[in-house]
Amino acid sequence: MAQGTGIEWTEATWNPVAGCTPVSPGCLNCYAARMALRLESIAVGACGKYSGTARVVNGRPVFTGRINLDENALELPRRWRRPRLIFVNSMSDLFHEAVPDSYIKRVFDVMNDCAQHTFQVLTKRPERAASLAAELPWPNNVWMGTSVENALYMYRVRTLQCIPAKVRFLSCEPLLGSMRRMVLEGIHWVIVGGESGPGARPMAREWVEGIRDQCLEADVAFFFKQWGGVQKSRTGREIDGRTWDELPV
């Protein structure tokens, strides 16, 4: 479904797909999996059965990651007349291998038809996005991004650079290591954030400052989302007394 959001770098979320499976270390403490389990528990309490999002192991629900295509949510952006900055599939990955090509094209058709909105598509599977790129419309209101949590996944940036989106962006959240030699040619925006919630892994200040400084040198918009931690409200969003809320021009 779609909803307002507390995510600092967007205004709304739209989830025509739900469910996902881990592909790299950034997935370990996925907030979407935690939220899906919570919603599943509420649903089970109401109707007494599981939808497939979770299964029972030793008497407890466990997230399965099963992909669900939400036909009811697919057309929602057409009904919103006020322009919005929309994060696409905050609860999934549009380019997951279990999402049919035909459904991805339908999502892109909706985005292409809704020029009043700006859509932020984020994936950990940019290679599939690149393989389908020639078959998809790429209007100016569709931004394409990939997640890069440490230097081992820098190859995703090179793949993203091959996709003909007007705005290409990186989400370095959760940032799990130093990235000293980022190749930012053709990248327009970088989001950085520390992991939050139960089991949050630490993020070093020098990792954040190193990415910020590279963005400044390359004239790339930099957005610092949070320091994170178990209680992210205590650690805040400031770097040396200021917030970084830049958006791509």
pLDDT, tens digit, 9 for 90 and up, residues 132-147:
999 999 999 999 999 9
Structure tokens at 57: 């192991």
Locus of tokens 């996709």:
163
Residue 20 has pLDDT above 80, yes or no: yes
State residue 4's pLDDT score.
Answer: 77
Please give the DSSP secondary-structure letter assigned to residue 163.
S
Residue 242: inside a domain: no
Length of the chain: 249
Domain that holds residue 148: 2-21+68-235
Residue 115: inside a domain: yes
Domain harbouring 87, CATH code = 3.80.30
Looking at the structure, do residues 36 and 99 belong to the same domain, yes or no?
no
Q: Which one has a higher pLDDT value, 147 or 53? A: 147
* Cα torsion through 172, 176, 182, 185, rounded to 10: -10
- Cβ neighbourhood burial of 39 (10 Å; 0-12, 13-18, 19+): middle
Q: Which one has a higher pLDDT value, 32 or 134? A: 134
Residue 245: inside a domain: no
Residue 246: inside a domain: no
Looking at the structure, do residues 7 and 31 belong to the same domain, yes or no?
no
Mean pLDDT for the stretch of residues 206-211: 98
Looking at the structure, do residues 126 and 213 belong to the same domain, yes or no?
yes
Looking at the structure, do residues 26 and 136 belong to the same domain, yes or no?
no
pLDDT, tens digit, 9 for 90 and up, residues 110-131:
999 999 999 999 999 999 999 9
Looking at the structure, do residues 129 and 54 belong to the same domain, yes or no?
no
pTM: 0.91
Q: How far is residue 83's CA from residue 72's CA, in Å, rounded to a whole number? A: 21
